[in-house]
Structure 1
Amino acid sequence: MSTLSTIGFDADDTLWQNEQFFRLTETRFAELLTDYAEADHLQDRLLEAEKRNLGHYGFGIKGFTLSMIETAVEVTEGRVPASVIGDILGMGREMLRHPIETLPHVRETLEALSGDFRLVMITKGDLFDQERKLAQSGLGDFFDGVEIVSDKNAATYERVFSRHGDGAARSMMVGNSLKSDIAPAIEAGSWGVYIPHDLTWVLERIDEPDQHPRYRKIEHLGELGALIATLR
């Protein structure tokens, strides 16, 4: 572990709150269409639309907004009022303007680690929105590199950790998504440190790789420094 040189950090729901805004918007979406579908049914239809559209729109608020519109058209059999479409677009714009709320222990942890390791933010989603959130967070100066990618897989981590560090074997990825942050990083050869979040999108949930020697789990980011010390 003394050869660890680079630490990658996920952004949404690892450095700052994100999923809570999607959940709140889903609730408002259900209220808009309460005359056409039950909330649980509408949520299932929206999730189906999001799955279908990931390959077209990618991850992020814009794709989510388009999926809400598509779902509204489907459940109303094309009768959705133009005013409802306008409201959905307004909710999407509101999400794109929401203020950034950093999670506990983020700033002090990044500050403590930045002198000893190369820190890289590795996030997926809409380029403009992720850049906005990073700028508003005030955390940008802690990172030696920022990678906004369309998806996260083993090849992504191999490429990023080779570009910004000494390869995956001497790197660690920290995040709240087992599917996107942890499993593919471990597959690439790096350490994976999982920090559970109270709200995690259902499409990001998989079983923990808890038997893998390079997998670790902590309760919050403030425990990361102590974890690294035990692995030296």
Structure 2
Amino acid sequence: MPKGLQIIGFDADDTLWQNESFFRLTQERFAELLADYTDRDHLHTRLLEAERRNLGQYGFGIKGFMLSMIETAIEVTDQTVPASVIAELLAAGQDMLAHPVHLLPHAQEAVRSLAETHKLVLITKGDLLDQERKLAQSGLGAFFDGVEIVSHKTTATYQSAFTKYGDGPEYAMMIGNSLKSDVIPALEAGAWGIYIPHGLTWELEHAETPTGHSRYRELPDLGEVVTLLQAAGL
């Protein structure tokens, strides 16, 4: 580990608080509502196709998910989906947008401890209003020196954020549950990438593990981040 680590970036959803589990519950309800029209596996495939197709227009987050479910429902029913089903899908999405924030184990302790020694930056993608709401409800907002809510996480995203809040990616670390969005582009930018797997990961966030990269680490939970940095004297 290099000396002079200045900035620690954190992902939000499924790194600091639960997120994907609520999507999975809604997808189960979606399958139940459309059980008379198609089987669960086919519906899942069609929904994933719609989500991938719509990312450029709707971005990441609950609202895009809702619209993709509605689009998929129209498609698999040959445009005969009942209005009552559409209404239930909208209600399910609204419930997701109002759901209380559930912090993941060690999130509060890790953020509080690391904020005493490093600059912390929240780097998350998704709907602006929803991410702001979750950060406010999490009770973690005061520990972050900056918040970047972006449409996509790319190498340029991390180069920009880590230069904005410090001396660049060389002196930065990104922590998250997505290899594709949190770890690999951060490594490509020159930062450290710390992967903390979550039990549930959206299929569109899957990527090959960057095994062998000198700045890559995989840890079981956020509590181990503090231990890692303390052991390295950072």
Q: Give your verdict on TM over 0.5.
A: yes
- What is the alpha-carbon distance in structure 2 between the residues aligned to residue 231 and residue 36 of structure 1? 57
Please list, as runs of the form range in 1=range in 2, the aligned pairs for 1:51-70 lying within 5 A after superposition.
51-70=52-71
- Matched with 2:28 is 27
The amino acid that maps onto 1:172 is M
Please tell me the residue identity of whatever aligns with 2:116.
Answer: G
Q: TM-score, normalised by structure 2?
A: 0.98
Aligned to 1:2: 3
> SS of the counterpart of 1:14?
coil
Residue 94 of structure 1 and its aligned partner are, at CA, apart by 0.6
Question: How many pairs does the alignment contain?
Answer: 232
Residue 58 of structure 1 deviates from its aligned partner by 0.2
Distance 1:202 1:166 in 2: 34
**Residue aligned with 2:193, SS:** strand
Residue by residue over 1:91-115, the C-alpha shift from the partner in whole angstroms, topping out at 9 and shown as x without a partner, is 1101001110000111111111111
The alignment's C-alpha RMSD in Å is 0.7
Map 1:10-159 → 2, pairs under 5 A: 10-159=11-160
* Structure 1 unaligned spans of 5+: none
* 1:62 aligned partner, one-letter code: K
**TM-score (ref. length: structure 1):** 0.99
Aligned sequence identity (%): 63
Report the Cα distance in structure 2 between the residues aligned to 1:144 and 1:111, rounded to whole angstroms: 12
Query: How far off is 1:199 after superposition?
Result: 0.3
Runs of 4+ in structure 1 over 6 Å off: none
| Uncovered stretches (5+) of structure 2, i.e. residues with no partner | none
Alignment correspondent of 1:211: 212
Aligned residue for 1:185?
A: 186
* 1:220 counterpart SS class: coil
Which whole-Å CA distance do the structure 2 matches of 1:100 and 1:227 have between them?
Answer: 27
Mapped partners of 1:230, 1:200: distance in 2: 29
Matched position secondary structure for 1:148: strand
CA distance in 1, matches of 2:232, 2:176: 18
Q: Which amino acid aligns with 1:25?
A: T
**C-alpha displacement of 1:231:** 3.6
Cα separation, 2, equivalents of 1:135 and 1:114: 17
List per-residue Cα deviations over 1:108-135 (Å, max 9, x = no partner). Answer: 1111111110000000000000000000
Q: Secondary structure at the match of 1:121?
A: strand
Could you say what secondary structure the match of 1:34 adopts? coil
Distance 1:94 1:114 in 2: 32
